[in-house]
Amino acid sequence: MFMVSVLLLLGPTAAGKSAIAVEVAERAGAEIVSADARAVYRGLEIGTDRPPPQALERVPHHLIGVLDPRERYDAAAFRADCERIVAEIHARGKGAIIAGGSTLYIRALTRGLFPGPAADPHLRAELARCSLAELQEELARVDPVSAARIHPADRVRLTRAIEVARLTGHPLSAAWGRESPFPFPLVKVGIALHRDELHRRIEARVARMLAAGLWEEARRLWEKGVPPDAPAARTIGYRELFAHFRGEHGRSEAERKIVRNTKAYARRQLAFFRSEPGVRWLDVTGRPPCDVADEVIAVWHEAEAGLESVPC
């Protein structure tokens, strides 16, 4: 018996992963699992640049628009859902593609998870009121090893490390090396493009989302009373517009901040993914998704052939 690999398509925001995934899925007879931590929520269609309806009709997609924006969903839940969904896809005789750029979700697959405590909403709410400097200071005190490894602007990972330390009395770093691996072999393909082209795409995408009604979509969420610590309120695009609705800055400043913060996020994604071992990077600058898809499939087939020579 031989294991069936899963294509993991990763890369920065606006690199074109979703369009490439659809092209690959159609050619390979596969289904797509989204690894986007925000696309999983309903009501965030425009701001998360969700695949258009025609793409969703062409290829089955999973973990898109399935949760209320107030609900909590983390890397552990994503990992569990991924294992279940991939098994179901394989049982249907289909290939599985996991596509996205949420670093915590990708790490849950490639580096595994340790059986830590569930998220504590009250503690999370308390930590959400802390500044980044305060979070860094506490983590350096309770878990200096994690503090040295976590980016000082990564509020999500800082919060989780502090949460683990407070709830268990032990540092998160003590659990490193005891993570459970993903049960399916992963073929990791990275999508990259020249910096200037990536920035141009980000600017164009933000302009397109604003023209498509991002301001109105964010306003609807704001009027529904989505709390400030909810995922939607912390998502780039909505976060800046929520601050505009609170009167913290004008609309044009909010739009400038969306572009700036998206570019900064893309840089963090790339830094994270570049440190991931075993990724086959493809430069997609100036290339249409259909052309890139052929190369991705060739990489996937090559890796699959290598797996078939090793019995399970």
Task: State yes or no: pLDDT of 175 exceeds 80.
Answer: no
pLDDT for 18 = 95
Is the pLDDT at 312 greater than 50? The verdict is no
Average pLDDT over residues 76-86: 95
What pLDDT score does 87 carry?
Answer: 96
Residues 6+ apart with CB under 8 A from 98: 6, 7, 8, 9, 32, 33, 35, 82, 86, 109, 186
- pLDDT per position as a tens digit, 181-231: 899 999 999 999 999 999 999 999 999 999 999 999 999 999 999 887 788
With H, G, I as helix, E, B as strand and everything else as coil, classify residue 187: strand
More confident residue, 31 or 233: 31
Q: In what order do the strands lie in the sheet with 186-192?
A: 61-62, 30-34, 95-100, 6-10, 186-192, 280-283
Band (pLDDT 50/70/90 cuts) for residue 305 is confident
Q: How many helices (H) and strands (E) does the chain have?
A: 13, 6
Residue 172 pLDDT exceeds 70:
yes
Name, in order, each residue with C-beta under 8 angstroms of 96's C-beta and a sequence gap of 6 or more: 4, 6, 7, 30, 31, 33, 85, 86, 89, 90, 184
User: Which top CATH class is 6-113+179-308?
Assistant: alpha beta
Average per-residue pLDDT for the chain? 91
**Could you give the 3-state DSSP secondary structure of residue 188?**
strand
Architecture of domain 121-175: Orthogonal Bundle (1.10)
Q: 174 falls in which pLDDT band (50, 70, 90)?
A: confident
pLDDT at 29: 95
Q: What is the pLDDT confidence band of residue 239, given thresholds at 50, 70 and 90?
A: very high
49-81 burial, b at 16+ Cβ within 10 Å, e below that, comes to: bbbeeebeeebebbbbbebebeeebbbbbbbeb
Please name every residue paired with 189 in a beta bridge, in sequence order, or none if there are none. 9, 280
* pLDDT tier at 151, thresholds 50, 70, 90: confident
- For the segment 136-164, the average pLDDT, to the nearest whole number, is 92
The domain segmentation of the chain, as residue ranges, is 6-113+179-308, 121-175
- Give pLDDT, residue 1: 32
Comparing 8-17, 44-53, 152-161, 269-278, the range with the smallest average pLDDT is 152-161
Can you give 119-184 as a three-state secondary structure string? CCHHHHHHHHCCCHHHHHHHHHHHCHHHHHHCCCCCHHHHHHHHHHHHHHCCCHHHHCCCCECCCC
pLDDT band at 26, cuts 50/70/90? Answer: very high
For Cα atoms 110, 116, 117, give the angle at the middle one, nearest 5 degrees: 140
- 23, 54 contact by CB (below 8 A): no
What percent of the chain has a predicted confidence (pLDDT) above 90? 77
Spatial distance between the Cα atoms of 278 and 22, rounded to a whole number of angstroms: 23
Q: What is the rounded average pLDDT of the residues 129-147? A: 94
pLDDT bracket for residue 263 (50, 70, 90): very high
Buried b (16+ CB within 10 A) or exposed e, 210-230: beeebbebbbebbeeebeeeb
As a whole number, mean pLDDT of residues 88-109 equals 94
Does residue 2 carry a pLDDT above 60? no
What confidence category does residue 3 fall into, taking pLDDT thresholds of 50, 70 and 90? very low
**pLDDT given at position 178:** 66
0.85 exceeded by pTM: no
Cβ–Cβ < 8 Å for 233, 226: yes
d(CA 285, CA 194): 6
What type of residue is 155? Answer: R
Say how many C-beta atoms besides its own lie within 10 A of residue 139's C-beta. Answer: 25
pLDDT at residue number 309: 52
Question: For 19, phi and psi rounded to 5 degrees?
Answer: -65, -40
**Which residue bears the tokens 């609807």?**
220
The rounded percent of the chain whose pLDDT value lies above 70 is 96
Give the bridge partners for 7, in sequence order: 97, 187
Mean pLDDT, residues 36-46 taken together = 94
